[in-house]
Amino acid sequence: MNPRVAVWLVAQLHLWLGAFVVAVPMFVFIIETIGMMTRDERYDNMAYEFIKVSITAYSLTAIMGGLLSFCLVLFYPDLFKYLALIFKESMFAYALLFFAESAVLYIYYYGWHWLQGGNRKWVHLTFGLLLNAFGITLMLLANSWTTFMMSPAAVDAAGVFNGNTWEAIHNFLWNPINIHRVVANVAYGGSIVGAYAGFKFLSAKNKEERAHYDWVGYNANFIAIAALLPLPFAGYYLTAELYAYSQQMGITLMGGVFAWIFIIQAVLIGALFLSANYYLWCGMGRSDGASRYNGRIKFIAIVLVAAFLVWFTPHTLVLTNSELKSLGGPYHKYLGVFGIMPAKNTAVNFLLTFTFMSFMFYRRANKVATVSWATTGNAIQIALFTMGLINIVTLGVYYGYFTNTVYKVAASIPQVLTTLTIIIVSTVIDTLMYKGAKDVAPLHWGRMPARSQYALFLLAVSFTWLMGLMGYVRSGIRQHWHVSNIFRDASPDAYTPTLGYAANVITVGTIIFMAMVIFVFWLSTISGKHVVAKGYWKEQA
Amino acid sequence: MTKKRLIPRLLQLVLIIIGVYFGFILLFDVALHQIIPKSLLTMYMLFVVAGTAMVFTFTEEGAQELVGPIKALVEDPSKKMIRNVVFVIVPLLAGYYTYTSMLPSFEAPMELRTIHPAPPSKFKAFGKSYNLTTLQNPYRKFEKEDPAKFKGLVKEGGDVYIKNCQYCHGDKLDGNGPYASGLNPTPLNFQDVGTIAQLQESFLFWRISTGGPGLPQEAAPWISAMPVWQDYLTEDEIWKVILFLYNYTGRAPRSWANE
């Protein structure tokens, strides 16, 4: 057994499962609250179903966490001892919090139907809040150990720790990682429960079941997309902080040896956005009123695909010798401009804006606004989108290519703000405009083609793979250091593996994880089944 | 009820994909005289195909119309002849494609190299130690303080460049000097938006003074032919040539502070 691969795979599996079980209670809490406020029991049932799925995953997370500690002690005892000395207080707190979280989770899950109605519901929601507080705190503590290895704090050049626990926890990259992980976990959790809904939809035995799981899938996809929209910005902030911490790490990450993994990342993010959009477009088939919008979808698709082509065009091209000779170097005169960040930022803002447009079309598909100012409202929205997109392009092209780097990097912020303004203002206008709107035709939950459910699976698999790849890069940029510039990796595996090898390890990990997820889905299916074994038990008098 | 179309949906899909494919080739290879690399075109087409297929299948009628002819080809008894022909041709084409792509050739394999070394925090040159995070071009300040002097320094840098650097990096700074075709990796093109425009002047100072042998151990072998210029130029000459590189290309060096 290769120690590096063992720790790598176990840590990655622990993280995938952990991300899922930290995320699920967040949106379960929100869905349960929606159910309580609207008194719509469907939300309560859906929230319960999600937590039911996560409960088995919770045990698997704990098993993987235990296995990871075991592997670290067994294969890297000196590193573990060093980290344990610095983080002993927080590791102890982690263990205690884990007990508390388990207790709260069991009360929350097993007490779901017991704590119903009136004050009991409030008590149940309080347990939900506590569960989230414990879960997130656990994640933040574990993040600090990881980020300490990247950006150690309160240690001298010889690695001697001379600070307190808080200084070690609050190291330079801790908060950027925290923000990125919290947002990404929600998107990831949404995609996994989306896959669950897809699994149940495809195996549904009747129309009602299909309608229910179609609705669940729609909500899960909504959660995934809602968290996916701010995710590129959280990632950009993390990377900018990483560059600020160490230019060497930054360049190794995005310009150097790991740059090709970012191209794979771009392709996978492409798959994420396309499958999320495709699911929305297919969803328009739930009502007959939506066909009015069908003709416009192709324009959204053209923009999305064009934005993707820019998004994953590498700066340094992979060329055959004859191509190299013909181009006169590894950079393309025209396509080279797409290889740097201003082009990528512009492309991703277009992607987000047009994904939001898909969602707006979906929302409006079956409705006709009845307010008197509907025409004006539409005109304002069209103006908002047009001006916003012009602003994004101007910022990207002018500040990205015709000013110095300070403005290049800074221009990304107004670009993001433009996108967020479009999304928020448009949502507000739309909500007001479609208040009391008429339905064009009845909505048929369950009238979804099977291929739309495979889009949900693709979303979950792409997310998993993506997290594995980027997690490897985050860890790999330490190169031959366990703790950057402090604690050198002296093992025979201290070298950076080839990209192909790394991709293979992560792919195997993804397959193992997806197998575990399917196992979890299957368990939730059999838990509700009752077989009457006639003649097996002796008759009671 | 599906509409009767002039061009069947399946054919529309195929025509769009072929059209985009040849559109790329026409645009780059013919109109712009800068070929589109095969690796990039393959990636582009992957998403073009995915996007087109999505548009054609997001409605149930669209999907049925698209797969209808394929289903008919497989299931319709009256299409036996054409089915047999397709079932022979498709595996043959797949086999031919596999054979030609696996066939050994004399062409060197493609390199997945990203020539963008990560700088160390400190390095040694001219018998001194330099801190890359704080190092600055001592002449940069004259750009505002004394433009006439700055112009003179840029000219001196230009002389150094023409005498030493243009043989590889080219007299237009586009990486296409007389010796460039003999080198792999090819000399850096300073005109490109993604090269010196993205870098601090201290990075250039490090790269020029320590050359190929000064590249970091990580991601080796670099196989760079860049000479160790601290053996041939003075520290001042290197800073001046850096001024020239930015001035000639019209790019500004990367800096962390607002001007």
Name the least confident of A178-182, A422-426, B198-202: B198-202
Q: Which of A 257-276 lie inside 8 A of B, CB atoms?
A: 257, 259-260, 267, 270, 274
Is residue B150 within 8 Å of residue B159, measured between CB atoms?
no
Would you identify the CATH topology of the domain B122-249?
Cytochrome Bc1 Complex; Chain D, domain 2 (1.10.760)
* C-alpha distance from A338 to closest chain B C-alpha (Å): 9
Q: Show which of residues 92-151 on chain B sit within 8 Å of chain A, judged by CB atoms.
A: 107-108, 110-121, 132-133
What is the pLDDT at residue B256? 62
- Answer yes or no: is pLDDT of B147 > 90: yes
φ, ψ at A457 (rounded to 5°)? -65, -45
A444: pLDDT strictly greater than 60 = yes
Other Cβ atoms within 10 Å of B172 Cβ, number:
14
* Domain parsing of chain B, residue ranges: 9-102, 122-249
Q: With contacts defined as CB-CB under 8 Å, which chain A residues touch B52? A: 301
- Give the position of tokens 């995915």: B50
| Contact residues on chain B for A449, CB-CB shorter than 8 A | 60, 63
Sequence-separated (6 or more) residues with CB below 8 Å from residue A221? A190, A194, A276, A279, A280, A456, A459
Segment among A243-257, A342-356, A502-516, B149-163 with least mean pLDDT: A243-257
Q: Which residue has the higher pLDDT, A386 or A495?
A: A386
Evaluate whether A520 touches A56 at the Cβ level (below 8 Å): yes
Interface test with B, best of A151, A243, A245, A251 (most B CBs within 10 A): A251
Average pLDDT over residues A44-70: 93
Do residues A17 and A516 lie in contact, with contact meaning Cβ atoms separated by under 8 Å? Answer: yes
Q: Which of residues 439-468 of A touch B (CB under 8 A)?
A: 449, 451
Q: Which residue would you say has higher pLDDT here, A418 or A480?
A: A418
Whole-angstrom Cα distance, residue B168 to residue B181? 9
CA nearest to A143, candidates A486, A474, A377: A474
Q: What is the model's pLDDT at position B44? A: 95
Mean pLDDT computed over B235-240: 97
Q: Is the pLDDT of residue B258 over 60?
A: no
- Whether residue B54 and residue A247 make contact (CB cut-off 8 A), yes or no, is no
User: Is there a contact between A323 and B133 if contact means CB atoms under 8 Å apart?
Assistant: no
- Is residue A345 a contact partner of residue A371, using CB atoms and an 8 Å limit? no
Calculate what percentage of chain B has a pLDDT beyond 90.
64
CB contact under 8 A, A260 and B112: yes
pLDDT digits (tens, 9 = 90+) for A308-361: 999 989 888 888 888 888 887 778 889 988 988 889 989 999 999 999 999 999
Amino acid letter for position A293: Y
A-proximal residues of B, 32-51, CB under 8 Å: 32, 34-40, 43-44, 46-48, 50-51
Residues A475-511: tens digit of each pLDDT? 999 888 999 988 999 998 888 888 899 999 999 999 9
pLDDT value of position B259: 42
Domain regions of chain A by residue span: 1-278+454-524, 288-442
Q: What is the mean pLDDT of chain B?
A: 90
The answer to whether A451 contacts B57, with C-beta atoms less than 8 Å apart, is: yes
pLDDT at residue A66, rounded to an integer: 95
Q: pLDDT tens digits, residue range B69-85?
A: 899 999 999 999 999 99
Confidence of residue A452 (pLDDT cuts 50, 70, 90): very high
Instruction: Report how far residue B173's alpha carbon sits from residue A253's, in angstroms, rounded to the nearest whole number.
Output: 27
